Amino acid sequence: MQIEFERSGGFTNAILFAQADTEARYLVYGAARLERRMTEAEAHQLEALSRDVDVSGMTGDSPRREHMPDQFQYRILIRSPDTRQELQLTEAGIPEALRPLVEALSLLARGNTLP
């Protein structure tokens, strides 16, 4: 499974980025596109979080969008051999079912390991 994640916007417009290949256990992260191997546990955790969520039906729309000019914008792309799911959403529009995946990808994008 391949997962791409990007968070932009916010007050400083700093971009968080992560691109993971869970089969190869390979991770590219951060603005400098650093590289590292993921642990087997991290790869399994990402796969499980991605399988638990069907992003195809999510819109990420939020009625409060116009009141939050500095909110984060997210782009998530999940590819497997038989599916491709992409979602663009705002911070206020993240569905509860997607939050664990967004939090895990945010940690990896900062160069942290998953708990």
Taking the model in full, what pTM does it have? 0.87
pLDDT at 16: 93
DSSP code per residue over 40-95: HHHHHHHHHHHHT--GGG-----TTGGG-TT-EEEEEEEEETTEEEEEEEEGGG--
Highest mean pLDDT among 17-21, 47-51, 71-75: 17-21
Is 36 contained in some domain? yes
**What are the pLDDT digits (tens) for 20-59?**
999 999 999 998 999 999 999 999 999 999 987 876 666 5
Is 114 contained in some domain? no
Q: What is the CATH number for 67?
A: 3.30.1560.10
Is 32 contained in some domain? yes
Domain count, the chain: 1
User: What are the residues facing 83 on neighbouring strands?
Assistant: 80
CA distances to 3, 38, 40, 66, 98 from 93, in Å: 20, 29, 31, 12, 10
| Band of residue 64 on the pLDDT scale cut at 50, 70, 90 | very low
**Contacts with 51 (C-beta within 8 Å, 6 or more apart), sequence order:** none
69, 73, 63, 67: which is closest to 15 by C-alpha?
73
**Domain, as residue range, for 8:** 2-109
Total Cβ atoms within 10 A of residue 15: 14
CA–CA separation, 60 and 39 (whole Å): 30
